[in-house]
Amino acid sequence: MLSQSFWKYPIVETLGYFSVVVLCLIVAMALFEVVTKYKNWQEIKNGNVAVALATGGKIMGVCNIFRYSVERHSSFSEMIAWGVFGFILLIIAYYLYEILTPTFKIDEEIENGNIAVGLISFTISFGLSFVIGASIVL
């Protein structure tokens, strides 16, 4: 068992948060892969800028939420819980975006390379991450 003083070193704490957040980000991206109707990484490999923008917004959004969570909590469990909660809110926002644009399908437009839709998706994910992050309580 590690002593409590071990975690007081800033480098150890930073590496701990970094490792946990990277793992959470990998899980989040895997879940977003399930949520979207297209294959994010295959589309990015094929040069689809709209998918790259939408995926980049999701990555930045999740990381930003975890930034707030790390900043405002002293335990890994609280940090992870608030980060996961924020991620769930981003998924809800994704579905709301789809519902609130009934004249076209978001996934289809992004898959077809519509950069405008990809940019709005990026902006929604990243922008809402600030609202979600700011609402994380101490």
Residue 1 has pLDDT above 70, yes or no: no
> Mean pLDDT over all residues of the chain?
89
Structural domain contains residue 50: yes
pTM: 0.86
pLDDT band at 12 (very low <50, low <70, confident <90, very high): confident
Residue 2 has pLDDT above 60, yes or no: no
Structural domain contains residue 118: yes
Structural domain contains residue 2: no
Structural domain contains residue 44: yes
pLDDT computed for residue 129 by the predictor: 95
Structural domain contains residue 90: yes
Phi, psi dihedral angles at 137 (to 5 degrees)? -95, 160
Query: How confident is the model over 37-95, as pLDDT tens digits?
Result: 899 999 999 999 999 999 999 999 999 999 999 888 877 888 888 888 998 999 999 88
pLDDT band at 7 (very low <50, low <70, confident <90, very high): low
Structural domain contains residue 4: no
Burial of 91 (0-12, 13-18, 19+ CB in 10 A): middle
Element at 32 (helix H, strand E): helix 10-35
Percent of the chain exceeding pLDDT 90 equals 58
> Residue 58 belongs to what domain range?
9-135
pLDDT computed for residue 120 by the predictor: 95
Radius of gyration of the chain (CA): 17
* Domains contained in the chain, number: 1
pLDDT computed for residue 3 by the predictor: 56
Contact 111, 43 (CB under 8 A): yes
Helices 115-135 and 76-99: crossing angle in degrees, nearest 10, is 140
Structural domain contains residue 1: no
pLDDT computed for residue 17 by the predictor: 86
